[in-house]
């Protein structure tokens, strides 16, 4: 690895700390930017300093059982937490980035205890009145962001599993809406469902094929 790249990586991964004097630090993360189907879900969490929750990490690095166990600990010990979302219709109307930022703002605004600083996973902050910082790879570096990522992941995964019953054959329980081979094959064979994102290329292309076939 080139020395400049190594230094950049080390700088990104160094420990992160909020500004001094912060009493209520909220962490925010999202799940579901990449899938072809389903809402994008966000969570905001404030943890007490003595929360005692062990094993907090990026939700993607944990097993489903680990996430579910940690989810129970987080909601039981958090000062407060809130789950928000942007719908498929909002994703298609505003684009996935703007919809994600909207959902993050909703999550923080929904907290029963409003924070005096917000740490957001990623490299961009929503437009809001809160003091905050975007933390690259924050879901693996900042405990409150890890907690938010776990809550959002558990909630969205459960929703997609439920959609498997409503829209069988797409593999939503397993793929969570991502464009796997099974999902794409079902999309081509069965068409788009109401929870598919119509502006995402594979869905849009399938809809265009369907529409062109109607007029041939």
Domains and CATH numbers, the chain: 3-164 (3.30.420.10), 167-214 (no CATH)
Query: Which one, of 41, 28, 18, 150, lies nearest residue 100 by Cα?
Result: 41
CA pseudo-torsion sign 83, 42, 98, 91: negative
The enclosing H or E element of 178 equals none
Residue in this structure with the two tokens 């094959």, named with its chain if needed: 185
* Residue 108 pLDDT: 98
* Residue 129 pLDDT: 96
CA–CA gap between residue 24 and residue 1 (Å, rounded): 39
N-terminal to C-terminal alpha carbon distance within the chain: 55
* Residue 4 pLDDT: 41
Would you give per-residue pLDDT tens digits along the chain (216 residues)? 565 444 444 455 578 999 999 999 999 999 999 999 999 999 999 999 999 999 999 999 999 999 999 999 999 999 999 999 999 999 999 999 999 999 999 999 999 999 999 999 999 999 999 999 999 999 999 999 999 999 999 999 999 999 999 999 999 999 999 999 999 999 999 999 999 999 999 999 999 988 876 544
DSSP secondary structure of 51-83 = --------GGGS-HHHHHHHHHHHHHH-SEEEE
Query: Which one, of 150, 127, 113, 175, lies nearest residue 28 by Cα?
Result: 150
Query: Which one, of 3, 28, 48, lies nearest residue 124 by Cα?
Result: 28
CA–CA gap between residue 85 and residue 99 (Å, rounded): 8
Torsion from C-alpha of 84, 88, 93, 97, nearest 10 degrees: 60
Query: Which one, of 77, 28, 39, 54, lies nearest residue 157 by Cα?
Result: 39
* Residue 157 pLDDT: 98
Query: Which one, of 184, 167, 181, lies nearest residue 38 by Cα?
Result: 167
CB of 52 within 8 A of CB of 138? Answer: no
CA–CA gap between residue 172 and residue 160 (Å, rounded): 6
CB of 25 within 8 A of CB of 117? Answer: yes
């Amino acid at each position: 690895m080139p020395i400049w790249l190594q230094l950049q990586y080390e700088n990104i991964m160094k420990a992160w700390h909020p500004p001094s004097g912060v009493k209520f630090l909220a962490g925010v993360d999202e799940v579901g930017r990449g899938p072809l189907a389903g809402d994008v879900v966000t969570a905001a969490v404030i943890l007490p300093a003595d929360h005692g929750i062990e094993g907090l990490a990026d939700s993607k690095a944990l097993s489903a059982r680990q996430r579910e166990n940690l989810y129970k600990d987080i909601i039981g010990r958090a000062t407060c937490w809130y789950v928000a979302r942007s719908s498929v219709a909002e994703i298609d109307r505003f684009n996935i980035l703007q919809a994600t930022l909207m959902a993050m703002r909703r999550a923080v605004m929904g907290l029963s205890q409003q924070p005096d600083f917000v740490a957001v996973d990623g490299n961009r902050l929503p437009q809001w009145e809160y003091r905050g910082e975007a933390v690259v790879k924050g879901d693996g570096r900042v405990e409150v962001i890890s907690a938010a990522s776990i809550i959002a992941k558990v909630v969205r995964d459960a929703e997609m599993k439920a959609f498997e019953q409503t829209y069988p054959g797409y593999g939503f329980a397993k793929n969570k809406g991502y464009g796997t081979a099974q999902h794409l094959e079902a999309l081509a064979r069965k068409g788009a469902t109401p929870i598919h994102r119509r502006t995402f290329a594979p869905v849009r292309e399938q809809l265009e094929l369907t529409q062109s076939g109607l007029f041939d």
